[in-house]
Structure 1
């Protein structure tokens, strides 16, 4: 389904577009054996620039919910239809993800059930319901309780069959729950004993979406000067980062576990980034550098899905071995291949953008 491009918050599109471009870049190197360190995920605890991409996207989902739904939710008569639409979108995203996995790795017996699109879909739906049906004060309480509750579960509740609570990859509470619910055959193929997008980690991931809703609500405030909005966003962002670094001392920042400190750290950085983008682009009109990112930003899910299919099929033509590997160092050849995929997908997104088409699920 497509619709014309309407007036949008330009800084949000740029921020989303930059996040999607970065996601395509890190997901499609020429070879996984040669990757620059910042373009890799942290081995376990810690946070690399690559670890910021997924939480930034979920944060943006929260902000976008506010801008897309604020006017409609004012009328309670619209609530049922809005929730049904959100549920339909959740189901479509999950079907796209599972269908892609089956296409690339045939066989229901070993199909991975959790995944990136699945987490995006579930967080989007739950945050949509919370935004439509609860007040901001209630959402703040849900945000706080989700982070504190997750911390208590992960750090204090004994893990059945493994003893005391722990944060190790295979023996933490989240890994145990995923094996119980999904079984090992349906978890991340590189581990099978745990999954970075597991069931329990969805709880704090919802917190990331609520973080975005809170910031989006600030941006949508009427009668508040832009300088005040940006100042509060920067203050909130810095405070979240500081609190995260304190929490990190006893509940480490960890993307695979999506720890509560990780939510605050990445949410704080995302808030700072969006505040700066909003001030430069929407308030002061600095748009010269935005052109590359907007086509990605207005068709984000389409770009992400294409980034799964295009490298998979065109990669069979051995473009990496023909065009890059013989002429560059291993690290630079691998990076050049990733940049090539970003540019190729951008061309498609640019055509859609120029034709004023936004593809929505």
Structure 2
């Protein structure tokens, strides 16, 4: 498959930077606690790690602005969108089921479907993509903005009106109640006391991140005066950050709950970052630094999926009593070089470079996998 020439270098770099940081955050080196900014906020609050997933959704929206630029019959469009969403959702589900077997009393047995998580990162991407795609197909930018406002305010109203006790608590919020009713406790995230940070209801506000990316890239693609468009984009980003902080006392910033203030904050930061990258990179030839991120940006979902599956595979085997290969390397190599958070970060960066090598091979061979 031939590697396409990117329309905007800044979008490829933005997408690649997001995947790069996602891998670093998700595979922190063992043996020490990572730096605080590389760990998700426990509940309310915000860290750099919290910005990664919404930025990925924003990048999905950016890609939509180019993928949907050509007129396509509705039936073909619908089939393509639904097929892609179903494939991404299925791969996300299989990722959580992987490696499909586990040991019971020294014997290998099939991992039960009844205990496999249904929702997750890729599943949320799939659902948000599908909703945003049809919104982009049928609505003008003005109506998309109205939809975004409706989704954020509607989500807030649902949390306030249908929660059990504290509407912003992990187990009392309306999203958890919906997940328990529809998905069931055995199919939810197991590390947060019964709360799933990628649950069904949170799909609504998360879709706004995708739609924001779509509108931003659409504005860039159609801009007659790119410089003025970038100034407006950065200015709007600053306004959204201030709006998020103003909303925070009533609807606290929380990544796991994906609150409206969290959406405004992350969209605002993404608009500022994208405007800065576009101002810096557009009109210039790619260099070694931009190509590094382009490698991630050309096959983002494939590289992300590989990063999750490979580390899961490494953790199936012991190379020392109670230590799998990734843990052994993190403790005996990187913690020996730099004890503490720095060693954890160096281990994560090394793993990220391993994943980059896969992307580099695909890049050199001109392979672009469009999930």
1:82 has 2:70 as partner = no
Distance 1:237 1:191 in 2: 32
* Pairing of 1:246-257 with structure 2 (within 5 A): 246-257=246-257
Map of 1:342 onto structure 2: 352
Distance 1:322 1:15 in 2: 34
Map of 1:15 onto structure 2: 14
For residue 216 of structure 1, give the secondary structure of its aligned residue in structure 2. helix
Query: What are the Cα deviations for residues 104-124 of structure 1, in whole angstroms up to 9, with x where unaligned?
Result: 462211111110000001111
TM-score (norm 1): 0.92
Distance 2:151 2:274 in 1: 24
CA contact (8 A) 2:3 2:363 kept: no
1:99 has 2:94 as partner = yes
Distance 1:242 1:327 in 2: 41
CA contact (8 A) 1:45 1:253 kept: yes
Using the TM superposition, give the Cα deviation of residue 8 of structure 1 relative to its aligned residue in structure 2, in angstroms: 3.0
For residue 112 of structure 1, give the secondary structure of its aligned residue in structure 2. coil
Query: What are the Cα deviations for residues 57-79 of structure 1, in whole angstroms up to 9, with x where unaligned?
Result: 10111111011111235xxxx22
Map of 2:120 onto structure 1: 115
Distance 2:170 2:37 in 1: 22
Using the TM superposition, give the Cα deviation of residue 206 of structure 1 relative to its aligned residue in structure 2, in angstroms: 0.9
CA contact (8 A) 2:237 2:271 kept: yes
Give the number of aligned pairs.
Answer: 351
Gap change, CA 1:187 and 1:154, over 3 Å in 2: same
* Pairing of 1:1-361 with structure 2 (within 5 A): 2-31=1-30, 33-73=32-72, 78-104=73-99, 106-155=111-160, 157-159=161-163, 162-163=164-165, 166-222=167-223, 224-283=224-283, 287=287, 289-315=289-315, 316-317=324-325, 318-361=328-371
Distance 2:148 2:280 in 1: 29
For residue 292 of structure 2, give the secondary structure of its aligned residue in structure 1. coil
Could you say what the CA RMSD is over the residues aligned between the two structures, in angstroms?
Answer: 1.7
Moved more, 282-291 or 33-42: 282-291
TM-score (norm 2): 0.90
For residue 358 of structure 1, give the secondary structure of its aligned residue in structure 2. coil
CA contact (8 A) 2:31 2:331 kept: no
